[in-house]
Structure 1
Amino acid sequence: MGKVAVLGAGSWGTALALVLGDNQHEVRLWTHRKEQAKEINETHMNERYLKGIELPKQITAYHDLQKAINDVEAIVLVVPTKAIREVCQQLKGLLHHKVTLIHASKGIEPDSLKRVSEVIEEELPKDLYGEVVVLSGPSHAEEVGARHPTTVTVSSTDETLAQHAQDLFINESFRVYTNPDIVGVELGGALKNIIALGAGISDGLDYGDNAKAALITRGLAEIARLGSSMGANPLTFAGLTGVGDLIVTCTSSHSRNWRAGHLLGKGYKLEDVLDQMGMVVEGVRTTKAAHQLSAERGIEMPITNGIYNLLFNQKKPKDVVDQLMNRGKTHEVEELPDDLSNQTL
């Protein structure tokens, strides 16, 4: 079995390290917090981020990035999207051999409007990894840590690298599919966090299941609309990284985006919500990026824009919902692009 570095010891990074450890790989879990590395190595637990889960003995935590990546065959990037550039810049000076590079971060960079793989490609020479692989899908870290059945997707423009990532992770409780549509896989994983904020807001307002079902369904339409304009296959959004990830993120209290939205729906201010969460809420940053993308591309995204106004323009949750409900009449079903109109949905 191989040596794999997992960069980022939050809940998702720790859960993926656990999967790799269960598969008997030598796993090096890197954290920028020295005390966290000490806790993991001494107790085989990461209590703050994966409470009550004992980690496999194959996992060793590192505070030194150079030592963590020495001689590894694969690097899994699981840091918050706002830290991707910084970590890649560090890797550029420390990595001196070719690896399989996998990222499992879900977001879009505001202002540059880059997907995570595009940020990586800007910061790291391709001779160090060939092509980026993305891992995404409906997957709460808490459930992965408990070895509950979970299914995800890996995607790359290089099918061989995607299959290698599939081989690294797949086991009896963690099933991995491949999908060549890296644009759709990344966008589905990022944009669903916006809709999860909206689902939490709806629940915080006590609007019930009808409203949330509508929000999820119309949110999926927005995701597919923007994704198609950026070159994604619309069928990807009917799969694990689209509707699958939407369901799990919009309907569970495990979801930090849903929890943040729930607090917003209850009337808390954004800064207080983020302080209370104590973890990165990717949907907030991604809402800003998606709002910029929709304006730049002329794509109609009323739910995204409503949540943007709530987050950044101090609109009240109820006013945003009322505005959405009182929009002009329109059709539900949209026409597919010509090259997909003859495919079976």
Structure 2
Amino acid sequence: MHRCALFLTKRVWQLRPFEPFQSPNFSLYSISSFSLLILSTPSSHFLSPFLHSLSPSSSMAPGIEALQRSSNGGSVRPDSHLSDDGVSSKFKVTVVGSGNWGSVAAKLIASNAARLSCFHDEVRMWVYEETLPTGEKLTDVINRNNENVKYLPGIKLGKNVIADPDLENAVKDANMLVFVTPHQFVEGICKRLVGKIRGDVEAISLIKGMEVKKEGPCMISSLISQELGINCCVLMGANIANEIAVEKFSEATVGYRENMREIAEKWVQLFTTPYFVVTPVQDVEGVEMCGTLKNVVALAAGFVDGLEMGNNTKAAIMRIGLREMRMISKLLFSSVKDSTFFESCGVADLITTCLGGRNRKVAAAFAMNGGKRSFDELEAEMLQGQKLQGVSTAKEMYEVLNHRGWLELFPLFASVHEICTGHLSPSAIVEYSERKPNFSVIDGHAQ
């Protein structure tokens, strides 16, 4: 019935503008019989973002309020959180990270935290403290101007966003943690948080990458869960941060584990806006692998652009890259679903990253320079402090594939790493086909 409710909700967007959800670019739509639509849906929890948004000014509010009361014994609203002592409390959110994507995530979250009664209106954002060229601390400037002037200049985050340079202080009262830092820093951050977070914390990772350990690859969500002993969902999608910051329409996918649908819907509620639509999928590994591996394919697309090989070649690289992404994911995690690759986290994220992401941009510059300038040098020059994920992910995947004897099965992924390290020229990205790999994935096994 949840799927039915989502279908009906999307359909009503097409009918009539609804004022509380107006944005400069997109509007949410409603119909006069919306209250009847809700009443015909058993689960009001699923539609709670819309219920709360309607109540301030809609003529349908009395009917909606009655529905909310009846759905929970006439007392606490259906999306309230009960603490261990049975007292109703609000969800309090901290964003762990404050780069380009972290700042945009804070903006999305802040807009909903201020609007929805189930969330505490204050949103903490942990900032790795930096001194700006003016001599001021980045945190002080963010709190004074309500703007991350270094990583998201010109965008107001929301007056309820509080930048905090003290990691432990930033998370101490939160029961929803949003991790959005470069993946190589996650383990160190988690070790600092052991014993410093609440016992009822839920986490979500927006981080695209993995850690390679002796026992094999470890996804960031698994690393967070293992280090902190908490459940961790993931959010991935075709999300170029600067476009979302100016409220251009985008989609994303929340991946969740079995029996975690309720918390997944809470994350959907926290992130969803009229211009940022989020869909839950029960496939954490599939969603996260898509978000991780697409950065490697984006490097390949960048090499093609830098050498001006043309759109046909780039399309071929993207197709081959998607095939290898799917195969690697299913070989490493048998639970990965094919359908996940058709969500925003899959093919959509691959397309947008290969067309406009930072990995593609820097890889194109690398190829134009004939591989003579290192990625570290180009990253420092072109990204103003932001970090590439593709180069480190390519290295990590190369180690995994090499260890398992799979390099010949994944020539595109192998070639990208060898180009990044100078063992092959950028033009080798199309020459790899001479290796003529012979492989297939059937039920998650290479043959």
* TM-score for both structures, normalised by structure 1: 0.90
Alignment RMSD (CA, Å): 1.9
Which consecutive unaligned segments of at least 5 residues does structure 2 have?
Answer: 1-89, 115-120, 131-136
Superposition pairs of residues 289-308 of structure 1, within 5 angstroms: 289-299=396-406, 300-308=409-417
Pick the structure with greater CA Rg. Answer: 2
**Residue 32 of structure 1 pairs with residue 132 of structure 2:** no
User: What is the match of residue 58 of structure 2?
Assistant: none
Corresponding position of 1:108: 210
Partner secondary structure for residue 134 of structure 1: strand
Structure 1 residue 117 corresponds to structure 2 residue 221: yes
CA contact (8 A) 1:111 1:292 kept: no
Whether 1:246 and 2:350 are equivalent positions in the alignment is yes
3-state SS of paired residue (1:53)? coil
- Counterpart mapping for 1:145-224 below 5 A: 145-157=245-257, 158-224=260-326
Bigger RCO (CA 8 Å, 6+ sep): 1
* Secondary structure, aligned partner of 2:417: helix
Secondary structure class of the residue paired with 2:203:
strand
Q: Look up the match of 2:374.
A: 269
What is the CA-CA distance between 1:98 and the residue it aligns to? 1.6
> Any idea what SS the aligned residue of 2:286 has?
helix
Aligned-pair distance for 1:336? 4.4
Q: 1:327 to 1:69 in 2, by over 3 A?
A: same
Letter in 2 for 1:337: D
CA distance 1:329–1:122, change in 2 (3 Å) = closer
**Letter of the 2:393 counterpart:** T
Deviation at 1:316, TM superposition (A): 1.3
1:140 paired with 2:232, answer: no
Segments ≥4 residues shifted beyond 4 Å: none
Q: Kindly state the Cα deviation for residue 321 of structure 1 after the two structures are TM-superposed.
A: 2.7
CA deviations 1:66-98 (Å, max 9, x no partner) are: 221132231101011111101111111321332
What amino acid is the match of 1:101? A
Q: Judge which range, 28-37 or 181-190, deviates more.
A: 28-37
The residue identity in structure 2 corresponding to 1:269 is S
1:3 and 2:92 matched: yes
CA distance in 1, matches of 2:397, 2:188: 22
> Do the aligned residues in 2 keep the contact of 1:30 with 1:37 (CA within 8 Å)?
no
Supply the distance in 1 between the matched residues of 2:193 and 2:307 (Cα, whole angstroms). 44
Q: Which structure carries more helix by proportion?
A: 1
Tell me the SS of whatever aligns to 2:251. Answer: strand
Matched, 1:22 2:125: no
Q: Tell me which amino acid in the other structure corresponds to 1:263.
A: A
One-letter amino acid matched to 1:257: N
Shift of 1:329: 7.8
CA contact (8 A) 1:2 1:26 kept: no
> In structure 2, how many angstroms separate the alpha carbons of the residues matched to 1:148 and 1:29?
23
- Rate the CA distance shift 1:338–1:216 in 2: closer, same or farther, 3 A: closer
Structure 1 distance, partners of 2:278, 2:375, is 36
SS in 1 for 2:162: strand
The one-letter code matched in structure 2 to 1:114 is C
Mapped partners of 1:329, 1:94: distance in 2: 49
CA drift of 1:111 comes to 4.0
Q: Which runs of 5+ in 1 are unaligned?
A: 340-345
- Shift in alpha-carbon separation, 1:83–1:122, aligned structure 2, 3 A: same
In structure 2, the residue matched to 1:327 is 435
Which residue type is aligned with residue 52 of structure 1? G
- Separation of aligned partners in 1, 2:337 and 2:396: 21
d(CA) in 2 for partners of 1:328 and 1:217? 16
Q: Distance in 2 between matches of 1:111 and 1:2?
A: 34
Q: 2:387: which partner in 1?
A: 280
Instruction: Give the whole-Å Cα distance in 2 for the aligned partners of 1:16 and 1:338.
Output: 34
Q: How far has the Cα of 1:325 moved from its partner?
A: 4.1
**Residue matched to 1:80:** 182
Match runs of 1:39-118 below 5 Å: 39-112=141-214, 113-118=217-222
Deviation for aligned residue 1:314: 3.5
What is the rounded CA distance, in whole Å, between the counterparts of 1:54 and 1:322 in structure 2?
43
Partner of 2:102 in structure 1? 13
Give, as a single letter, the amino acid of the residue that structure 1 aligns with 2:303. I
Code of the residue aligned with 1:244 in structure 2: it is: A
- Cα distance in 2 for partners of 1:271, 1:64 equals 28
Superposition deviation, residue 206 in structure 1 = 0.6
Alignment correspondent of 1:310: 419
Q: Give the equivalent residue in structure 2 for 1:342.
A: none
Taking a change above 3 Å as real, the CA distance of residues 322 and 162 of structure 1, as seen in their structure-2 partners, is closer
User: Percent of aligned positions with the same letter in both sequences?
Assistant: 30
CA distance in 2, matches of 1:221, 1:322: 16
Partner deviation per Cα, 1:295-341 (whole Å, 9 max, x = no partner): 334441111100110112432112x135224333869xx564289xx
Query: In structure 1, what is the Cα distance between the partners aligned to 2:141 and 2:95?
Result: 17
